Amino acid sequence: MKNETKCEINNKSKSEKIIKNPPFRGAATAIITPFKNGRPDFYAFERLVEFQISEGVDAIVFCGTTGEASTLSEDEWRECVSFAVSTVKGRVKVIIGCGSNNTANAENKSAFAEKSGADGILSVTPYYNKASIGGLITHYKRIAASVSIPVILYNVPSRTGVDIPFEAYQKLANVENICGVKEASGNVSRAAQIISLLGDSMPLYSGSDELSLPLMALGAKGVISVTSNILPREITALCRMCEREEYKKAAKLSAALYPLTSALFCEVNPIPVKTALYEMGFCREEFRLPLCRISPENRQRLTRELEKRVELQN
């Protein structure tokens, strides 16, 4: 089959579940997109990427929610995709955010990401116009058919107004190169249901930093993390502990990480995390409207937690 090499699928018979190896295991950083004078700042971007790789992350997700992808022009998005692949050079997995509420646009973006050399795509649920369950399934089947690389679904109803129902997961688990889901609904019961009933036919990633430990204890393959922009080594260490089933150690680290993780969501993502990276000297404090600078009160809170991160690193 065309997709067996890319997704490492074991489809023994029609009566059995399709078993898929996930596109990556462990920690993936949902990286910001730095700007300078209204344009993507590729000098700062390269420094951020090198920092992530040197700290040991398993994958980097470009052009996602944290990357302010919805404000990138088509040309800027393509530049960022090309930059991602050429800068990473195969050292970690490159996952590209290709979602859209226009199925044809999502197909075109996915095909461009594959042609550019991405290892997989992340496809958010259609927003604003939403979709019925039938439309949602057809949307994702069309996207998956447009590429041979792994497709990771992205369920984040707080942003899109669409919560993928379990029945849709059941249908989409039978699509060979739909190789995972980033569950950012905050619904632990739903995640447990997916892991328990669909298993390796729908590998699951935590889309919420504070839930990484409980979801990995249930069987999630890793996390697509905002916090790892700031503490990539620590988020990677947390994932390694879970993989080794060292849950007491992981619980201690997760508890230590929580105050900073919480501060990184004191305002809408990615305002706090980009502010933190500015404070660390990685980028400018530049956003695209409707995002704007953090409030003075929340800046103080974030700065306090950033000052404590040295304790986590020792």
Per the domain annotation, does 260 fall within a domain? Answer: no
Per the domain annotation, does 45 fall within a domain? Answer: yes
Indicate which CATH number applies to the domain containing 201.
3.20.20.70
pLDDT at residue 19, rounded to an integer = 85
Q: Model confidence at 2, in pLDDT bands (50, 70, 90)? A: very low
Per the domain annotation, does 271 fall within a domain? Answer: no
Angle, CA 181 vertex, CA 178 and CA 186 arms, to 5°: 165
Over the stretch 152-186, which tens digit does the pLDDT of each residue have? 999 999 999 999 999 999 999 999 999 999 999 99
Over the stretch 288-311, which tens digit does the pLDDT of each residue have? 999 999 999 999 999 999 998 766
- In the chain, the number of structural domains is 1
Per the domain annotation, does 265 fall within a domain? Answer: no
Instruction: Quote the CA–CA distance of 74 and 17 in Å, as a whole number.
Output: 38
Q: Please give the model's pTM, rounded to 2 decimal places.
A: 0.93
Instruction: Quote the CA–CA distance of 179 and 22 in Å, as a whole number.
Output: 6
Cβ-based neighbour number of residue 313 at 10 Å: 8
Give the domain range for residue 107: 21-246
pLDDT at residue 13, rounded to an integer = 41
pLDDT at residue 16, rounded to an integer = 62
Per the domain annotation, does 5 fall within a domain? Answer: no
Over the stretch 179-238, which tens digit does the pLDDT of each residue have? 999 999 999 999 999 999 999 999 999 999 999 999 999 999 999 999 999 999 999 999
Q: What is the CA radius of gyration of the chain?
A: 18
Catalytic annotation, residues: 154, 182
Q: Model confidence at 98, in pLDDT bands (50, 70, 90)? A: very high
pLDDT at residue 314, rounded to an integer = 63
Per the domain annotation, does 83 fall within a domain? Answer: yes
Per the domain annotation, does 234 fall within a domain? Answer: yes
What CA–CA distances, in Å, run from 237 to 58, 180, 284, 291?
Answer: 11, 22, 28, 31
Per the domain annotation, does 312 fall within a domain? Answer: no
pLDDT at 7 over 60: no
Mean of the pLDDT values across residues 276-281?
96
